[in-house]
Amino acid sequence: MTDFASKELSRSEVEELVRSVPHWHHRFEIAPGVITPGTYDPAFLLGKLAPPADLSGQRVLDIGCSDGFFSLSLKRRGAEVVSVDYRPKSLHGFGVMEQISGLDFDYRQVNLYTIDLKTWGTFDVILFFGVLYHLPDMLKALSIVRELCAGQLFLETHCANDFSPEAAAARYYRGATLNQDMSNFWSPNACCVRDMLHDAAFDVEREEAWEDRYFAACRISQDDERLYKLRLAYSLAPAS
């Protein structure tokens, strides 16, 4: 493993910093021999993402970055990474990850729906992991992501794989009925996610569904009709 810990921090200092975070979501090796006490190991998703060793010159947007496992992994490969979460980085592990890694990140605390598309520019790669089902308007979210994407989108979400695979459908979760979490709204089936991606002008190149999850590797489409549909729906284009 590459020694990515800050040279100015001892192992005991790294461990103390890790303990200072009240709750870790990502479980990963933040420094040699130091594992964050997260509840979710995202390493398998990095395998599905399969990023090249050299991402120099690539602009990456990590939406819902949480403790920063993916942001760190891609920045270590040379990417220019913009990391987005609705919380300040001091309220989860991202700030500590940044301190331990010795790297500076472009971290933005923002709600996806409020992103100013005129000032953010576009990204070669967008990661959209574990976010879609937390959003009350999934199509609006995908339309924003499409406006930001100039290349590839990698999406992973909670998925209603118990629904019929032949018809698009989504289950709505009232209150906190999904995992006692008020931030959970939807569980679309794979067909529903695929159809929404199509209308948001993404082509699914690779996909996988397992248990209650779905993963898709997508590339943007320049199909004018597909682009127009959601731009019109969310007033991103004139009606004529």
Under a CB-based contact definition with an 8 Å cutoff, are residues 152 and 219 in contact?
yes
Write down the residue that tokens 């127009």 correspond to.
228
Which residues fall within 8 angstroms of residue 170, CB to CB, at 6 or more apart? 138, 160, 186, 187, 188, 189, 192
Q: What pLDDT, on the 0 to 100 scale, is given for residue 30?
A: 95
Topology adopted by domain 42-233: Rossmann fold (3.40.50)
What whole-number distance in Å separates Cα of residue 148 and Cα of residue 108? 15
What whole-number distance in Å separates Cα of residue 97 and Cα of residue 117? 28
Q: What pLDDT, on the 0 to 100 scale, is given for residue 47?
A: 95
Q: What pLDDT, on the 0 to 100 scale, is given for residue 6?
A: 53
pLDDT tens for 105-154 read: 999 999 999 999 999 999 999 999 999 999 999 999 999 999 999 999 99
Q: What pLDDT, on the 0 to 100 scale, is given for residue 137?
A: 96
Q: What pLDDT, on the 0 to 100 scale, is given for residue 237?
A: 55
Q: What pLDDT, on the 0 to 100 scale, is given for residue 2?
A: 41
Torsion of CA 42, 48, 50, 55, to 10 degrees: -60
Under a CB-based contact definition with an 8 Å cutoff, are residues 152 and 122 in contact?
no
Q: Quick one: CA dihedral 189, 193, 194, 196, positive or negative?
A: positive
What whole-number distance in Å separates Cα of residue 35 and Cα of residue 19? 11
Torsion of CA 103, 151, 114, 78, to 10 degrees: 0
pTM of the model: 0.92
Q: What pLDDT, on the 0 to 100 scale, is given for residue 231?
A: 86
Q: What pLDDT, on the 0 to 100 scale, is given for residue 3?
A: 46
Low-confidence ranges of the chain (pLDDT < 70): 1-7, 236-240
